[in-house]
C-alpha cells in the first residue's frame, strides 16, 4: 500500500514512479510538480501561509486553509531553482527565508532588504542551488547539497521570532544526483520545549515497516540547545548519514547536537539489527526529555502488523507525565496526538 504523506501526496507520486534507493529525476517533495530528468530545472511551488484552525498558530501549506506544522518538506537536486510563490492569507506581515541555497536580496525574506509579504499579499521568492566547483587556486567550492530548512523572518519583528514561535518553518533538502532515496521521510523540529509544536504525549508517532529506508530531517529553532537521540538506530555523521565504503571511518552516532538554526538529516533502515517495536526519540538534555521533549518511532512488522508489546509501550507513553504548559498558540483541541503514516 502506498501510504500518504502529511501533505496528502504519496512518496511514490513525488518520485514519479522511481523506486526508492535508485537514481531519481528532479524532485520537489510534496509540491505536486512534474519531475524532469534534466539538470538545472526550475520548480514552481505555491505555498500558503495560514492560521491553524482553532489556534493562534500560523503555518505554511500546499493548499489554502490547510497549513501544517512543520510546513511541507521541499526537495530538489543541485543545479535546480525553486521558485516559491508565497500567498499570505493572514492579517500579519510575514515571509519565507531559506538556509543553504543562493538568493538575491529581493528573495532574502528579511525586512532588512524589504523582502516580505504584507498582509494578504502574494510574493515570489527565488532560490537557486549549485554543484561543487573547482576554484582557480585548486580548492573546491562546496555545492548546495544538504539538509536545510526555511522559516519566517518578518512576523512580529525584523527577525521573525514570533513567526517561528507560531509554527512558520519547514524542511528543505538539496540532493546530489545519485543519492539514495527513502521510502519514508519525517521532519522533526525542536523549538523551545516542543517537538513539532507539541509536547509529550502529543508529540508525533512516526511509523515505518521493518526494513523500510527512512529519512529523518532534524531542525532546531528557538533559544535553547537540544540534542536529538534515536533509540536502537544509528547513522554516520556525514552529509547523508551513510558511509561511502566499507573503509569509510566517519563517526557513527545515535545522538547529535541540535542548536537553534541548525539542521541535519540521515537515513536508517527501520528496525535493522534490532527488529520491530516502539522506539523512543527525544532530546537528551535530561530536563527537556522529562518535561515533554520525547516521541515514538513505531517500527511495525514487515507486513504492517503491530509487533508484540508495541501497543503496551504506546499506551505507557500516552500516560507520560508532562507539564501542564502548552506550546504557543495551542488549544486543548489542537493538542491531540497524531499518528503519521
Total domains present in the chain = 2
311 and 236 in one domain? yes
pTM of the predicted model, to two decimals? 0.85
Cα distances from 310 to residues 207, 231, 283, 314, in angstroms, run 12, 14, 21, 6
Does pLDDT of 20 surpass 60? no
225 and 147 in one domain? no
1 located within any domain: no
Average pLDDT of the chain to the nearest whole number: 87
- End of a domain among 154, 175, 196? 175
- End of a domain among 175, 204, 227? 175
**What CATH number should be reported for the domain holding residue 103?**
2.60.40.420
Whether the CB-CB separation of 278 and 296 falls below 8 Å is answered with yes
Domain around 308: 184-340
Looking at the DSSP bridge assignments, the partners of residue 228 are: 256, 283
Cα distances from 218 to residues 38, 181, 264, in angstroms, run 29, 17, 5
59 located within any domain: yes
188 and 102 in one domain? no
Cα distances from 300 to residues 30, 76, 187, 212, in angstroms, run 24, 29, 19, 10
216 and 155 in one domain? no
> For the chain, first and last CA: distance in Å?
11
240 and 134 in one domain? no
The confidence score (pLDDT) of residue 325 equals 56
DSSP assigned state of 236: E
Task: Convert the pLDDT of each residue in 155-193 to its tens digit.
Answer: 999 999 999 999 999 999 999 999 999 999 999 999 999
6 located within any domain: no
145 and 259 in one domain? no
152 and 271 in one domain? no
Three-state SS string over 271-309 comes to CCCCCCEEEEEEECCHHHHHCCCEEEEEEECCCCCCCCC
Cα distances from 112 to residues 107, 108, 334, in angstroms, run 11, 9, 34
Which of 204, 190, 163 minimizes the C-alpha distance to 5?
A: 204
2 located within any domain: no
Q: How confident is the model at residue 326 (pLDDT cuts 50, 70, 90)?
A: low
Does pLDDT of 19 surpass 60? no
5 located within any domain: no
- End of a domain among 175, 210, 230? 175
270 located within any domain: yes
Task: Convert the pLDDT of each residue in 287-296 to its tens digit.
Answer: 999 999 999 9
Q: In sequence order, which residues have a C-beta less than 8 Å from that of residue 284 and are 6 or more positions away? A: 227, 228, 229, 255
325 and 246 in one domain? yes
Amino acid at each position: 500500500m502506498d501510504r500518504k504523506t502529511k501533505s496528502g501526496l504519496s512518496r511514490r507520486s513525488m518520485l514519479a514512479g522511481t523506486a526508492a534507493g535508485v537514481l531519481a529525476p528532479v524532485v520537489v517533495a510534496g509540491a505536486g510538480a512534474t519531475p524532469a530528468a534534466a539538470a538545472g530545472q526550475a520548480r514552481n511551488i505555491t505555498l500558503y501561509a495560514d492560521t491553524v484552525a482553532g489556534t493562534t498558530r500560523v503555518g505554511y501549506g500546499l493548499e489554502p486553509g490547510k497549513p501544517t506544522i512543520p510546513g511541507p518538506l521541499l526537495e530538489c537536486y543541485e543545479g535546480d531553482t525553486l521558485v516559491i510563490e508565497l500567498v499570505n492569507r493572514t492579517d500579519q506581515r510575514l515571509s519565507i527565508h531559506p538556509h543553504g541555497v543562493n538568493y538575491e536580496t529581493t528573495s532574502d525574506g528579511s525586512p532588512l532588504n524589504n523582502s516580505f509579504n504584507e498582509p494578504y499579499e502574494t510574493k515570489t521568492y527565488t532560490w537557486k542551488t549549485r554543484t561543487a566547483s573547482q576554484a582557480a587556486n585548486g580548492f573546491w567550492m562546496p555545492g548546495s547539497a544538504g539538509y536545510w530548512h526555511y522559516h519566517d523572518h518578518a512576523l512580529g519583528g525584523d527577525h521573525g521570532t514570533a513567526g517561528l514561535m507560531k509554527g512558520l518553518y519547514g524542511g528543505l533538502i538539496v540532493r546530489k544526483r545519485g543519492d539514495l532515496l527513502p521510502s519514508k521521510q519525517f521532519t522533526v523540529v525542536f523549538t523551545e520545549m516542543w517537538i513539532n509544536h507539541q509536547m509529550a504525549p502529543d508529540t508525533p508517532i512516526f511509523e515505518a515497516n521493518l526494513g523500510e529506508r527512512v529519512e529523518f530531517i532534524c531542525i532546531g529553532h528557538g533559544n535553547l540547545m537540544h540534542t536529538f537521540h534515536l533509540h536502537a538506530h544509528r547513522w554516520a555523521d556525514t552529509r547523508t548519514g551513510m558511509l561511502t565504503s566499507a573503509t569509510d571511518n566517519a563517526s557513527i552516532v545515535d545522538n547529535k547536537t541540535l542548536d537553534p538554526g541548525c539542521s541535519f538529516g540521515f537515513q536508517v533502515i527501520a528496525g535493522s539489527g534490532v527488529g520491530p517495536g516502539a522506539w523512543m526519540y527525544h532530546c537528551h538534555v535530561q530536563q527537556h526529555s522529562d518535561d515533554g521533549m520525547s516521541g515514538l518511532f513505531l517500527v511495525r512488522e514487515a507486513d504492517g502488523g503491530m509487533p508484540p508489546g508495541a501497543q503496551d509501550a504506546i499506551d505507557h507513553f500516552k500516560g507520560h507525565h508532562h507539564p501542564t504548559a502548552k506550546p504557543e498558540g495551542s488549544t486543548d483541541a489542537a493538542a491531540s496526538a497524531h499518528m503519521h503514516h
